[in-house]
Structure 1
Amino acid sequence: MGSPKISRRTMLGQTGLAAAAVGLTLAGCGSSSDSAPEAGGSASSAPLTPVKLQLQWVAQAQFAGYYAAVDQKFYEAEGLAVEIVEGGPDIVPQDVLSAGDVDYAISWVPKVLGSIEKGAKITNVAQIFERSGTTQISFKDKNIVAPGDLAGKNVGSWGYGNEWELFAGMQKAGISTGDIKLVQQAFDMNGFLAGDIDAAQAMTYNEYAQVLESENPATGQLFQPSELNVISWNDVGTNMLQDAIWANSEKLSSDAAYQDTTTKFIKASIKGWIFARDNAEAAASIVTTAGSQLGVSHQQWQTNEVNKLIWPSTSGGIGSISDVAWERTVGIAKGTKNETGATIITADPPQTAKNTAYVTKALEELKAEGVDVEGKAFTPLTVTLQKGGA
């Protein structure tokens, strides 16, 4: 896979590509709130266990929970010194993990299933995103309200493994890739805004906002949601599991210290995501301090929209791996064909592809501490986007 020539600004928010080794260790400073788990230092004077976490992309609120866990010293309280390694366009995060260069990685489930079938020894130990953030958006005058309406249209896709929900939704509606003009979508919304793409891929937490931050030349005002049609793969039923925490399968089976670290890492990460849930604006600021180049309103929008993908948890607590969602994702990965006729995987993944023991233990400990791991009362913020996301 070649490296697309994209600017740091326009590539923000894409989860399909992977990781350049840009190490980042955040200072533990910041304030906690009454609604979030308490921040705290290390429980003892013992040396902290070093841990490297590989992200899918650059610093942004897609990963707010991990940055918050560092900033609020949740990792430190579990005896961990976590280094967050930013992503980029050149290296796939699961490959970095499989090679032993990091301890954990964040990646979408279908992409990793393909890597596992090719021999990667890695395991999903916590499914952080419960819902899909991928949509296909179009202007109202295109009359595209469902997958079946994509026939004969210029349909944008980033590719690189981001296209499977789109293809599954089309095929569910009886539309093949031959029935559309598939457009290689750049990592921005310029082609869509210029009219070259009728229906464009857009993450709820990034590209959709990019459109709403843009000025409609016909009105001189920012585009409004009422001017767009949005196909959500959650509604269509072809949504696939996205951001999960992945661990080294072989170390999970043989290394007791790594097993213990895995539970601690998941527990502290969940605390970080709870902080982001209950302190969305503060979490956005933490990510900005960490180096995100998104504007203030865009970063707040992203934090808010990512929270919607996590909360409320309907499967017993954040990080739980729903059997229904897992089987749906595997089924789509096996049964959906791309434009060349290939599928993501050809057979069911091995049992080692997921392991719920560590997240279950982490959730039990948090519940015993009185921590709200389900967020049933979660209410999203109302974020007003500014021009250019400023």
Structure 2
Amino acid sequence: MRSNRFDTGASALLAVTLALAMAGPARAADKVVFLTSWYAQAEHGGFYQAKATGLYEKAGLDVEIRMGGPQVNGLQLLLAGEADAIMGYDIQVLQAVEKGLPVVTVAASFQYDLQGMMTHDDVTSLAGIKDRAILVSSAGMTAWWPWLKKKYALSDAQVRAYTFNLQPFFADKNVVQQAYPSSEPFQAQEKGVPVNFHLFARDGYPPYGTTIVTTRKLAEGKPEAMRRFVAASMEGWKSYMENPAPANVLIKAANPKMSDGQIAFGITRLKALKVLGGEENVPIGTMTEARWKASYDYLVEAGLLKASTDWKRAFSLDFMPVLSAKAE
């Protein structure tokens, strides 16, 4: 860990922070290493936008964005001090708290988890998958599958292993599969296969998406610097939806396999799903205790979390006052 990470900052509000930074003497920027959950893509655009447009720099931060990937354990790296914050998942954090790990979610970029189901175009709702073969990954079996199974009276007998190969789906119209809105549907479009995407959150799946997770030591010990990071990141998301070009340069530099077409497809999907502000257009980054309680209740009922877990330690609403950016 570098010694200047998360030194206490001027003010919680980004605008006030910038004004004070301009008025006061120059000081070294606080170093922040932020680890994403996967290769660079549109779903990470707000963070890259904050970097590309100087929002982090204006907030007195020197932010390094590192990509995650299939062999990267973000939570482990966070706890080891190799990252100051990571892109996280509500279920992962609740289960970490159950184990006594000192991690906490401080903001949610998206009001919904982006997990959903891709079906052929003859299926118009999740209610229509009852008699279909369902491709589910091993991770999905211990995350959203218990929720979906109960919601639509599905059976484990319908499940087939999803290996992230779309050929079984393309070959059989009776097959449906897990998907993210800008990934598998884009591949289907490239193949000329008409599909529908069904977001689980639309049917009540409670977790947030693309969250910011840090350690309790940093959140509680250096809260002003974390507030500046959260605020600048959320402003980055607002900016990205207005003009994504600056971030897209960084995204493609980090992930050369990412095409302009897929990025554009992803942004279109994110806007259509209203992921930043939700249907109520709340401030970007918003979280509520009620939503976290809903995730806790689901996990306990599904046998994925002990009822004795202190679920309120999985998140902090102390960063809410800085989140002034609206999605629209």
CA deviations 1:166-218 (Å, max 9, x no partner) are 4312212222324x1x222122423311339701111012111111111xxxx
- Whole-angstrom CA distance in 2 between matches of 1:188 and 1:131: 25
1:165, distance to aligned residue in structure 2 (A) = 2.7
Determine the structure 2 residue equivalent to 1:242: 209
Q: Are 2:306 and 1:325 aligned? A: no
Counterparts of 1:27-176 in structure 2, within 5 Å, are: 43=22, 45-140=26-121, 144-161=123-140, 164-176=143-155
Question: Residue type matched to 1:98 in 2?
Answer: L
After TM superposition, where is structure 1 displaced by more than 6 Å over at least 4 residues in a row? Answer: none
Q: 1:351 aligns with which of 269, 294, 312?
A: 312
Where do 1:127-276 residues align within 5 Å?
127-140=108-121, 144-161=123-140, 164-178=143-157, 180=158, 182-195=159-172, 198-214=175-191, 222-224=192-194, 228-253=195-220, 255=221, 258-276=222-240
Which SS does the other structure have where 1:50 is aligned? Answer: strand
Which secondary structure state, in structure 1, belongs to the residue aligned with residue 144 of structure 2? helix
Q: In 2, Cα distance between the equivalents of 1:58 and 1:73?
A: 22
> What is the TM-score with the length of structure 1 in the denominator?
0.71
- Conserved 8 A contact 2:49-2:239: yes
Report how many aligned residue pairs link the two structures: 307
Q: Identity, % of aligned pairs? A: 19
Q: Cα 1:190–1:285, aligned 2, differ >3 Å: closer, same or farther? A: farther
- Indicate how the Cα distance of structure 1 residues 80 and 362 shifts in structure 2: closer, same or farther if over 3 A, else same: same
Q: CA deviation at 1:133?
A: 1.8
Alignment check: 8 A CA contact 1:128 1:310 kept: yes
Greater RCO (CA < 8 Å, at least 6 residues apart)? 2
Query: 1:151 Cα shift?
Result: 4.0
Amino acid at match of 2:193: F
Q: 1:280 touches 1:304 (CA, 8 Å); kept in 2?
A: no
What's 1:217 paired with?
none
Secondary structure, in 3 states, of the residue corresponding to 1:374?
coil
2: distance between equivalents of 1:162 and 1:129? 22
Aligned residue identity for 2:321: K
Q: What's the counterpart of residue 10 of structure 1? A: none
Q: Is the 8 A contact 1:205 1:305 kept in 2?
A: yes
Aligned to 2:326: 374
Match of 1:6 in 2: none
Judged with a 3 Å threshold, the aligned counterparts in structure 2 of structure 1 residues 117 and 124 are, in CA distance, closer, same or farther, namely same
Unaligned runs of 5+ in 2: 1-14
| Cα RMSD, aligned residues only | 2.6
Q: Structure 2-normalised TM-score?
A: 0.84
Q: Do the aligned partners of 1:183 and 1:197 also contact (CA within 8 Å) in 2? A: no
Change (3 A) 1:171 1:294: same
**Equivalences for residues 333-348 of structure 1 within 5 A:** 333-336=299-302, 342-348=303-309
Deviation at 1:282, TM superposition (A): 4.6
Deviation at 1:58, TM superposition (A): 1.2
Distance 1:96 1:298, change over 3 A: same
**Counterparts of 1:335 and 1:315 in 2: how far apart (Å)?**
30
* 1:8 paired residue number: none
